[in-house]
């Protein structure tokens, strides 16, 4: 099971036949295990990492630090759920340290993201404060180098 997960995590486009060949397993067994892991929510989804800038689409990403007052009996979960239900929100993580939640938001413009933060996020009950940091450039995402300026780093050797 772990080997299948590792292969899918590195390349979700692998077919069950390819995985079976790589792991010396029967394809039917690979299919069964994948279906079981999807059912148990071990595998949550399959994603394509897109460089939207190269595709001609402008997107703005912001990392928002959120301090909240935990609620009795549910802690941070209820507020987190309210936040992650917004379509602009890409990720929400409970953090240790100076703030409680790290929220990653995507929008078309900085103004759109700022409007979301000021009218939707900051106004949620139990949200104490927010600090927004706009992403200026992404170098690596989900383990993938986004844009490597130097494709070949080998030195040229001439006789």
pLDDT digits (tens, 9 = 90+) for 91-128: 999 999 999 999 999 999 999 999 999 999 999 999 99
Token pair, residue 40, equals 């148990």
Contacts of 120 (CB under 8 A, 6+ apart): 86, 88
- Would you say residue 155 has pLDDT above 80? no
What pLDDT does 156 receive?
66
- Residue 108's φ and ψ, nearest 5 degrees, are -80, -30
% of the chain surpassing 70 pLDDT: 93
pLDDT digits (tens, 9 = 90+) for 24-49: 999 999 999 999 999 999 999 988 88
Per DSSP, the residues of 25-90 read --HHHHHHHHHHHHHTTSS--------TTTTT---EEEEEEEEEPPBTTTBTHHHHHHHHTSTTEE
The pTM of this model reads 0.81
Q: Which domains are assigned to the chain?
A: 2-39 (1.10.10), 60-137 (3.30.70.920)
Task: Name the residue among 37, 8, 36, 6 with its Cα closest to residue 16.
Answer: 8
pLDDT digits (tens, 9 = 90+) for 131-152: 999 999 989 888 888 876 656 5
DSSP state of 138: -
């Amino acid at each position: 099971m772990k080997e299948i997960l590792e292969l899918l995590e590195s390349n979700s486009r692998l077919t069950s036949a390819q995985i079976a060949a790589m792991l010396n397993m029967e394809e039917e067994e690979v299919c069964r295990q994948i279906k079981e892991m999807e059912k148990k929510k071990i595998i949550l989804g399959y994603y394509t990492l897109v460089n939207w800038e190269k595709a001609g689409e402008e997107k703005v990403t912001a990392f928002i630090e959120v301090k909240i007052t935990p609620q009795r009996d549910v802690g941070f979960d209820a507020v987190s759920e309210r936040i992650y239900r917004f379509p602009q929100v890409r990720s929400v993580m409970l953090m240790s340290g100076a703030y409680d939640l790290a929220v990653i938001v995507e929008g078309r413009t900085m103004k759109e993201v700022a409007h979301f933060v000021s009218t939707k996020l900051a106004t949620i009950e139990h949200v104490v404060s927010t600090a927004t940091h706009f992403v200026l450039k992404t170098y690596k995402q989900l383990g993938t180098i986004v844009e490597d300026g130097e494709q070949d780093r080998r030195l040229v050797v001439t006789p």
